């Protein structure tokens, strides 16, 4: 089903159905509202050749039906004699409110004018939009413009969303007490996530104030439920080897993706959405010139970046592109659906953690010790890990490391250095990433294949491991 934000101009220019009695298109502003376009065309005049019959319909579970059905609201008119888009949307919202109250709004309908007079909301009722309707409007007018708009919507009313059980409430009925309690409940399970969701909630309610859907932002004075500290977690090379090995037990796309995040310390969202068309993987004449051109609209800082690729990163990418599980027609390096980049990181992370835990338990059993869990970490810590080892072990300049991470002059407050840090620094970055790849091959990847000292001296059987996703394994 095609989805479009209806406008009068767009409706005026709809073409009649070709090869079928009719077709439908859904509105992105009011959920459930559609236009049904017939096959007849306007015979003459200004709109000659355009669709003659355009009807507004609403798809909803009209009582007492349990399944969604279509009901006609009225026929769109290009003149004052027909139903306007504004009236159609207002009527659709009123009908949806009636349906939530267990009333079939079409049962009391005698003619379109009377139905609109009876059911169309007055100023107060129109503002009593449901939370779900308000979120639909917010997504259309705001979230679709944001890089992480989908994630924000899920944080608000998704499976773990703050508003997931309030979607049918009138937006004006939300109270500070209701929202604060839900934030506290969420914080008991995921403290930092609750902070983020509260931030999204405040922004959403603030937008509702601007749109006059509510009078005040009832979430504004709710305090963050959890204290946050700047993350300084980084992995030892031994821990990094365990993560690399565990990633090798995961199939495409997550196995190679996690290993690429180790070799190429960019942001997770940037790497996950990598497109084949953004890559130059080198050729026989220029094998060391492989690079990834990251577009500005996909970076946090909104600045395009040429990313040099080490031989190790290039091998992982080439193997991922050639993987039999990857849809051959996909534009994305990491995809399972062809049309979109990879998702489902939480489930993959659980499998990764389980593989790490199992490997630690096996090693501990061989050494006669009790297994310890790897300290808590997040994928973002792989960036901190690179920064720490690159600067301390490899002597990479802090400004170069910042540029690799696509930070904006965090290494220094000097004005001159901030300007320097905005430069490409391409060759220094290329050299630093090549050195990082060599360190990984020497002390992380090869280390995976060696038994620990305790196991060598004990003469016990070597622990078998699955190979990593790369040509170096």
pLDDT digits (tens, 9 = 90+) for 425-460: 899 999 999 999 999 999 999 755 443 333 333 333
Residue 367 token pair = 């050494």
Over range 186-212, report the average pLDDT: 88
- What would you report as the CA-atom Rg of the chain, rounded to the nearest whole angstrom? 28
Q: Measured between alpha carbons, how far is 320 from 426 in angstroms, rounded to an integer? A: 25
Q: Exposed, middle or buried: residue 376 (CB in 10 Å: 0-12, 13-18, 19+)?
A: exposed
Q: Is residue 443 within 8 Å of residue 237, measured between CB atoms?
A: yes
Q: Which range among 218-227, 231-240, 317-326, 448-457 shows the weakest confidence by mean pLDDT?
A: 448-457
**Position 312 confidence tier, pLDDT thresholds 50, 70, 90:** very high
Over range 294-323, report the average pLDDT: 88
Burial 94-132 (b: 16+ CB within 10 A, else e): bbbbbbbeeebbeeebeebeebbeebbeeeeebbbbbbb
Stronger pLDDT, 203 or 126, i.e. the higher one:
203
pLDDT at residue 413 tops 60: no
Over range 146-165, report the average pLDDT: 87
Among 230-244, 360-374, 382-396, 445-459, name the most confident range: 382-396
pLDDT at residue 307 tops 80: yes
Nearest of 470, 241, 253, 248 to residue 347 by alpha carbon: 253
pLDDT at 21: 84
Over range 346-355, report the average pLDDT: 93
Output the average pLDDT for the chain. 82
pLDDT at residue 191 tops 90: no
pLDDT in tens, 32-63: 899 999 989 989 888 899 999 899 999 888 88
Q: Measured between alpha carbons, how far is 463 from 444 in angstroms, rounded to an integer? A: 17
Nearest of 212, 230, 35, 245 to residue 128 by alpha carbon: 212
Q: Measured between alpha carbons, how far is 392 from 111 in angstroms, rounded to an integer? A: 78
Q: Is 230 helix (H, G, I), strand (E, B) or coil?
A: coil
pLDDT at residue 299 tops 90: no
Element spanning 60, H or E? strand 54-60
Over range 455-468, report the average pLDDT: 35
> Which residues on adjacent β-strands are paired with residue 280?
291
**Position 470 confidence tier, pLDDT thresholds 50, 70, 90:** very low
**Position 86 confidence tier, pLDDT thresholds 50, 70, 90:** confident
Q: Is 203 helix (H, G, I), strand (E, B) or coil?
A: helix
**Position 316 confidence tier, pLDDT thresholds 50, 70, 90:** very high
Over range 322-345, report the average pLDDT: 92
Over range 360-366, report the average pLDDT: 89
Q: Is 194 helix (H, G, I), strand (E, B) or coil?
A: helix
Tally the residues of the chain. Answer: 473
Q: Is 258 helix (H, G, I), strand (E, B) or coil?
A: helix
Cα separation of the two ends of the chain: 46
Over range 358-382, report the average pLDDT: 89
Q: Where are the alpha helices (H) located in 284-396, listed in sequence order?
A: 311-322, 345-366, 381-392
Residue 418 token pair = 């901030």
Element spanning 125, H or E? helix 123-127
pLDDT at 125: 41
Over range 138-161, report the average pLDDT: 86
Element spanning 70, H or E? strand 69-75
Element spanning 74, H or E? strand 69-75
Q: Which range among 51-60, 70-79, 162-171, 381-390 shows the weakest confidence by mean pLDDT?
A: 70-79
**Position 418 confidence tier, pLDDT thresholds 50, 70, 90:** very low
Q: Measured between alpha carbons, how far is 343 from 254 in angstroms, rounded to an integer? A: 9
Q: Helices then strands (H, E): number in the chain? A: 18, 8
Task: Check whether the bond before 7 is cis (ω within 30° of 0).
Answer: no
pLDDT at residue 119 tops 80: no
Over range 358-363, report the average pLDDT: 91
Q: Measured between alpha carbons, how far is 56 from 38 in angstroms, rounded to an integer? A: 12
pLDDT at residue 466 tops 80: no
pLDDT at residue 410 tops 90: no
Q: Exposed, middle or buried: residue 174 (CB in 10 Å: 0-12, 13-18, 19+)?
A: buried
Residue 473 token pair = 């394994």
Other beta carbons within 10 Å of 393: 13
pLDDT at 147: 67
Angle, CA of 463, 466 and 469, to the nearest 5°: 145
447-451: long-range contacts, CB 8 A cutoff, minimum separation 24:
447/237, 447/238, 447/241, 448/241, 448/244, 448/245
């Amino acid at each position: 089903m095609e989805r479009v934000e209806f406008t009068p101009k767009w409706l005026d220019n709809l073409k009649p159905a070709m090869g079928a009695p009719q077709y439908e298109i859904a509105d992105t502003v009011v959920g459930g509202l559609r236009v049904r376009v017939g096959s007849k065309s306007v015979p003459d005049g200004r709109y000659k050749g355009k669709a003659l019959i355009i009807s507004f319909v609403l798809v909803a579970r009209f009582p007492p039906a349990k399944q969604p059905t279509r009901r006609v609201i009225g026929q769109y008119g290009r003149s004052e004699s027909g139903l306007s888009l504004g009236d159609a949307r207002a009527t659709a919202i009123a009908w949806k409110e009636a349906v939530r109250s267990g009333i079939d709004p079409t049962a009391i309908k005698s003619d379109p004018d009377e139905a609109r007079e009876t059911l169309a909301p007055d100023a107060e009722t129109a503002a009593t939009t449901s939370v779900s309707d308000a979120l639909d409007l917010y997504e259309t007018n705001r979230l679709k413009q944001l890089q992480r708009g989908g994630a924000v919507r899920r944080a608000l009313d998704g499976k773990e969303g703050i508003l997931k059980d309030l979607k049918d409430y009138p937006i004006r009925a939300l109270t500070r007490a209701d929202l604060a309690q839900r934030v506290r409940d969420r914080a008991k399970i995921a403290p930092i996530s609750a902070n983020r969701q509260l931030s999204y909630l405040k922004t959403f309610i603030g937008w509702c104030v601007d749109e006059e859907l509510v009078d005040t932002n009832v979430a504004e004075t709710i305090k963050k439920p959890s204290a946050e500290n700047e993350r300084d977690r980084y992995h030892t090379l031994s821990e990094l080897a365990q993560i690399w090995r565990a990633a090798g037990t995961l199939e495409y796309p997550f196995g190679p993706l996690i290993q690429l995040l180790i070799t190429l310390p960019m942001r997770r969202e940037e790497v996950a959405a990598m497109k084949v068309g953004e890559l130059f993987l080198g050729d026989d004449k220029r094998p060391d010139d492989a690079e990834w051109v990251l577009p500005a609209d996909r970076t946090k800082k909104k600045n395009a970046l040429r990313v040099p690729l080490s031989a190790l990163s290039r091998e992982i990418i080439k193997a991922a592109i050639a993987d039999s599980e990857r849809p051959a027609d996909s534009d994305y390096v990491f995809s399972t659906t062809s049309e979109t980049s990879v998702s489902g990181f939480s489930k993959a992370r659980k499998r990764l953690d389980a593989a790490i835990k199992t490997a630690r338990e096996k090693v501990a059993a061989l050494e006669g010790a009790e297994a310890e869990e790897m300290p808590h970490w997040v994928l973002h810590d792989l960036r901190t890990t690179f920064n720490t080892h690159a600067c301390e072990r490899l002597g990479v300049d802090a400004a170069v490391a910042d540029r690799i991470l696509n930070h904006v002059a965090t290494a220094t407050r000097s004005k001159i250095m901030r300007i320097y840090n905005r430069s490409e620094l391409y060759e220094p970055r290329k050299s630093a990433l090549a050195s990082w790849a060599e360190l990984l091959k020497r002390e992380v990847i090869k280390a995976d294949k060696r038994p620990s000292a305790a196991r060598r001296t004990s003469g016990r059987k070597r622990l078998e491991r699955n190979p990593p996703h790369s040509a170096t394994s």
